[in-house]
Amino acid sequence: MLTIPFLRDFKEEALKRLNLKNFTNHSLIDEILGLDDERRLVQKENDDTLAAMNQIAKEVGSLFKIGKAQEANVLKEKNAELKEKSRILAEKLELLKEQIQVRLVEIPNAPHLSVPAGRTAADNLIVASSGQMPQLPANALPHWDLISKYDLVDFELGNKVTGAGFPFYKGKGARLQRALINFFLDQAIAAGYQEVQPPLLVNEASAYGTGQLPDKEAQMYTVGLDNLYLIPTAEVPVTNIYRDRILQENELPVKNVAYSNCFRREAGSWGKHVRGLNRLHQFDKVEIVQIAHPDTSYEVLEEMRAHVAQLLDRLELPYRVVKLCGGDMSFASALTYDFEVYSAAQQMWLEVSSVSNFEGFQANRMKLRIKDKNGQIQQAHTLNGSALALPRIVAALLENNQTEEGINIPQVLHQYTGFEKI
């Protein structure tokens, strides 16, 4: 959530940055600042009223001490009137705060000025690429045929037990999943991340804190009776560890990694790109999350980007890194890099990771702050990244490594899978 001081003191910069996200409702910002002007006036009037009440209370005490009860009682009546006035002003103040809050959450995060302008994925900027394109046999199969041929994933059984988009992984397919999860976790731990195992359900305050609410209700599964949400990513519970916290500057950066199931309704998705493992309602992902000082958060973002890149290098997957344009970014992000691997049999680029800096957007919602060595309180920055999401990694590994004799497993996974070939 953007702050009133930022919108007030840096209004032109805010509008310039929001324009990158194609946010054109500039009148909303004027409305918010107008409401805040009114809030300030009401706050001052209430503060003055409370100060007058305190002064009168002192005078009443003095008058009673010197025996002037009648004059004291007159002042007490005046104080009662001021008390009622303060009550009305306090109610008005709370209403204004609520009105401001309702409008503030309608404004997306302001993108970093380096974010390219654009409206769709076609406007994203390719900033890096790595790896060799695989040479496949003439009879190469897409991954949905490979997993059927080698009995690795059962979509029909998942559909029977739950519904479409909830597959069963079987045999070597299940072991490959577990191998990738352990590899990703071990790599993150070696890079200084602390492993946590979060809940798969969060409450409304947590979903609000990281920006899923009120922006993404349609994409989340809900447990209505308990007003809980199945997590779309471990980012949500892990970042919310620090909700309502003040961290000491010397604790930064805070680095956590978590494996979790992820649940997304993916409402409105259709077409070839959702076939097989390309898009699921439940999938596995390892997530890295950092809390950083605002002076260094973009250095941290590049560090996280490098971490994801080395994972894909070690898996020997061809990939490219794209900087998302304003129109393709999430509501909460200030800058996002997407990693896309090349799926050779499909001849498609598949997104497998998003690495984002949210600057203070989530921290403001969560009331997460930093206390520096001088005792001053300032804003924290939050970042996260997929390291990595499994389904499309598996799809690319199967397709890119298929041979006439089977599917070769990347060497780095051999110690985790216990086998070298499917």
Q: Are 364 and 1 in contact (CB under 8 A)?
A: yes
Structure tokens at 84: 């009622």
Q: What's the pLDDT band for 271 if we cut at 50, 70, 90?
A: low
Q: What's the pLDDT band for 65 if we cut at 50, 70, 90?
A: confident
Counting residues of the chain whose pLDDT is more than 90, the rounded percentage is: 88
Q: Which of the 8 DSSP states describes residue 391?
A: H
| pLDDT(268) > 80 | no
Q: Are 272 and 319 in contact (CB under 8 A)?
A: no
Counting residues of the chain whose pLDDT is more than 70, the rounded percentage is: 98
Q: Are 235 and 389 in contact (CB under 8 A)?
A: no
Q: What's the pLDDT band for 274 if we cut at 50, 70, 90?
A: confident
Report how far residue 102's alpha carbon sits from residue 419's, in angstroms, rounded to the nearest whole number.
55
* 3-state class (DSSP) for residue 93: helix
CATH class, 121-417 region: alpha beta
Q: What's the pLDDT band for 68 if we cut at 50, 70, 90?
A: confident
Q: What's the pLDDT band for 267 if we cut at 50, 70, 90?
A: low
Structure tokens at 386: 């997929």
Q: What is the mean pLDDT of the chain?
A: 94
The pLDDT assigned to 59 comes to: 85
Q: Mind listing the pLDDT tens digit for each residue in 374-412?
A: 999 999 999 999 999 999 999 999 999 999 999 999 999
Q: Are 153 and 170 in contact (CB under 8 A)?
A: yes
- Between the CA of residue 280 and those of 284, 293, 338, 386, 391, what are the distances in Å? 10, 35, 18, 16, 8
Q: What is the mean pLDDT of residues 217-241?
A: 94
Q: Mind listing the pLDDT tens digit for each residue in 95-148?
A: 999 999 999 999 999 999 999 999 999 999 999 999 999 999 989 999 999 999
Strands 168-169 and 153-154: antiparallel
Report how far residue 318's alpha carbon sits from residue 377's, in angstroms, rounded to the nearest whole number.
44
The pLDDT assigned to 62 comes to: 83
What are the φ/ψ torsions at residue 216 (nearest 5 degrees)?
-125, 30
The pLDDT assigned to 316 comes to: 97
The pLDDT assigned to 272 comes to: 52
| pLDDT(66) > 90 | no
Structure tokens at 342: 């090349």
Q: Mind listing the pLDDT tens digit for each residue in 167-180?
A: 999 999 999 999 99
| pLDDT(216) > 80 | no
Q: What's the pLDDT band for 22 if we cut at 50, 70, 90?
A: very high
